[in-house]
Amino acid sequence: MSPAERPPLHESEAPDSTSGLAGFIRSAERRTAAEALAPNRDAVSLEALLGGAAEFATQLTDAMRGESRLHERIACQAGCGWCCHVQVVVSAAEALHVADYLRKSLRPDELERARARVAALHERTRGLSREARADTRLPCALMVDFSCSVHPARPLRCRSWNSLDLERCKAEHEQPRGGHLEIENVQWEVTRAVAAGLGDGIAEHRLDGARLEMTAAIRIALDTPDAEARWRAGEAVFAAAAVE
């Protein structure tokens, strides 16, 4: 099965309750990712694997919204980065994909500046809990002019985020963990379940599918020229970036 292909979800396959929905989606993505990697894991493009997972999440989200119109209130738009000041969890595959995107899309001087921003942020946030990271209110190292510089290659958990109220986002930035945020849960829950399933499918092939802190993981991917080859060989090259 191509990494970009996902099996159709029939009504008879749907979970019996909302509580089982995340597990159902996670299992579907796990199977698809594992099958995509099965013929030759070294030949699978990370761009195709992750692009397929992102498209799967989008299609599921659209299908599950049903009659709800809540998503029409989503306030997110280009040039808005109020939410990009928190800890983000990624997989090794996503960190490698982001690093590859940076190398291909930036001039050498721009790439060095991006690498320096990532390193500087990592030094300031290394070892912080999710709560402590939010309290720093430091922006993502990949945000430039309040916009995501890797938007086409952004991790699944970044894709999961949304807000129904811009002013609440600003309030949360000023007072982290203040409970101001209002989100559309369908996009949030579906995309995060897909991300978890992707990690499960990768781990089935004895590749590192652990949860990683994004800044630390991208720093490793940028600073280690053979990081992808070592990861594909089964080495836990991103172990230093692992989070619980």
How high is the pLDDT of residue 72?
87
Query: Residue 16: which residues within 8 A CB-CB, separation 6 or more?
Result: none
241 pLDDT tier (thresholds 50, 70, 90): very high
Pair of tokens at residue 79: 């040039």
Q: Determine the Cα–Cα distance for residues 49 and 69; give it in Å rounded to an integer.
A: 30
Report, as an integer, the average pLDDT of 17-43: 86
In a domain, 3, yes or no: no
Beta bridge partners of 147: 144
- Is there a domain that residue 4 lies in? no
Residue 195 lies in a domain: yes
Would residue 103 count as lying in a domain?
yes
Question: 137 near 173, Cβ under 8 Å?
Answer: yes
Q: Roughly what angle, to the nearest 10 degrees, separates helices 46-65 and 185-203?
A: 150
pLDDT tens-digit series, residues 186-198: 999 999 999 999 9
For residue range 72-88, list pLDDT tens digits in order. Answer: 899 998 888 888 999 99
Which range marks the domain in which residue 169 is found?
A: 11-241
The pTM of the full predicted model, rounded to 2 decimals, is 0.88
Number of domains comprising the chain:
1
Residue 163 lies in a domain: yes
pLDDT at 46 over 90: yes
Q: Are 131 and 238 in contact (CB under 8 A)?
A: no
What pLDDT is stored for residue 132 in this prediction?
A: 94
Q: What is the mean pLDDT of residues 12-41?
A: 78
CB atoms within 10 A of CB 214: 28
Strands 212-213 and 147-148: unpaired
Which pLDDT does position 23 carry in this prediction?
A: 93
Q: Is 186 a member of any domain?
A: yes
CA distances to 15, 71, 110, 137 from 157, in Å:
23, 17, 25, 19
Higher local confidence (pLDDT), 43 or 207: 207
CA nearest to 213, candidates 97, 53, 94, 114: 94
CA distance 32 to 4: 9
For 103-129, write each residue's pLDDT tens digit: 999 999 999 999 999 999 999 999 999
Q: Given a cut of 50, is residue 1 above it in pLDDT?
A: no
As a whole number, mean pLDDT of residues 49-55 equals 96
Residue 25: is its pLDDT beyond 50?
A: yes
Count how many Cα atoms sit within 13 Å of the Cα of residue 87 in the half-sphere of its side chain.
24
What pLDDT, on a 0 to 100 scale, did the predictor assign at position 20?
A: 81
> Would 1 be classed as within a structural domain?
no
pLDDT digits (tens, 9 = 90+) for 197-221: 999 999 999 999 899 999 999 999 9
Q: Residue 51: inside a domain, yes or no?
A: yes
> What mean pLDDT do residues 229-242 have?
95
